[in-house]
Amino acid sequence: MRLLALDAATESCSVALLCDGEVMERAGAAGKVHAQQLLSMVSEVLAEGQISLGNLDGIAASIGPGAFTGVRVSVAVAQGLAFGAGLRVAAVSTLEALALQALQDRCPEPQPTHAIACLDARMQEVYWGCFAADARHGVIATSSPRVSTPQAVMPPWTPCVGIGRGFAAFPALAVLPGLELRLGAASAAPRAREFARLGALRLMLGQALDPADLQPLYLRDKVAQTEAERAAH
């Protein structure tokens, strides 16, 4: 399997090339991410892997949730590359990629089986979702991804591991009943390598999409607070 993955939906952006089991990756701070930044990293990993875009099996795209502009850039770049090379795409959410990162953690033992992924959504809210490890799919969602106040986050099982910068933004989440927050988990960001692994599984399972059908995952339409709302917080 040869697959390109890209993500620019959160505070970091990354690109990975999965080539016959080996992963080559580039990452950096997103800032005001733009398409050229992602395309430059795409060129670097393709050169390192000595493969052309047209020889790939597909592209894994980050669809969010995350920063509005970053999500749009991720989806648009994936669509443009896929259309140009005649490739299919696999949609992967930032929460799924984070969950896979946590569920692959083998240190310390035992390896976790359930995870809650949580991202800072700003405006005193978080994006979050609950997931279970699955040999065939990598991860499976056990609840729908959602946006809510931190107080509404409730993992449905115990024990589970937490991951994502929502835990750093709202430290009270770290003491949820049955939750284990491992070293570095609260500062973890989505990585393209997990998007690549989940994307490859979806291609093999026949879940690839036409690039035109790739859609961003927006959990809310409102992206800014009014002055009165900011003052209240």
Domain boundaries, the chain: 2-93+190-213, 94-187
| pLDDT tens, position by position, 152-165 | 998 877 789 999 99
Check if 2-93+190-213 and 94-187 are the same fold: yes
Q: What is residue 11's predicted lDDT score, i.e. its pLDDT?
A: 84
Please choose, from the candidates 131, 67, 120, the residue with its C-alpha nearest in 3D space to the C-alpha of residue 98.
Answer: 131
| pLDDT tens, position by position, 105-139 | 766 667 889 999 999 999 999 999 999 999 999 99
| pLDDT band with cut points at 50, 70 and 90 for residue 29 | confident
For the chain, the average pLDDT equals 91
Contact (Cβ atoms closer than 8 angstroms) between residue 42 and residue 56? no
Least confident of 18-32, 73-87, 111-125: 18-32
Please choose, from the candidates 129, 75, 67, 80, the residue with its C-alpha nearest in 3D space to the C-alpha of residue 103.
Answer: 129
| pLDDT band with cut points at 50, 70 and 90 for residue 204 | very high
Residue 102 has pLDDT above 70, yes or no: yes
Q: What is residue 106's predicted lDDT score, i.e. its pLDDT?
A: 66
Contact (Cβ atoms closer than 8 angstroms) between residue 119 and residue 188? no
**What CATH class has 94-187?**
alpha beta
> pTM score, two decimals?
0.92
| pLDDT band with cut points at 50, 70 and 90 for residue 33 | low
Contact (Cβ atoms closer than 8 angstroms) between residue 144 and residue 156? no
CATH architecture of 2-93+190-213: 2-Layer Sandwich (3.30)
Residues 6+ apart with CB under 8 A from 207: 90
Q: What is residue 220's predicted lDDT score, i.e. its pLDDT?
A: 84
- Give the CA count within 13 Å in the CB-facing half-sphere of 103: 26
Tokens of 4: 């390109």
Least confident of 97-106, 159-168, 189-198: 97-106
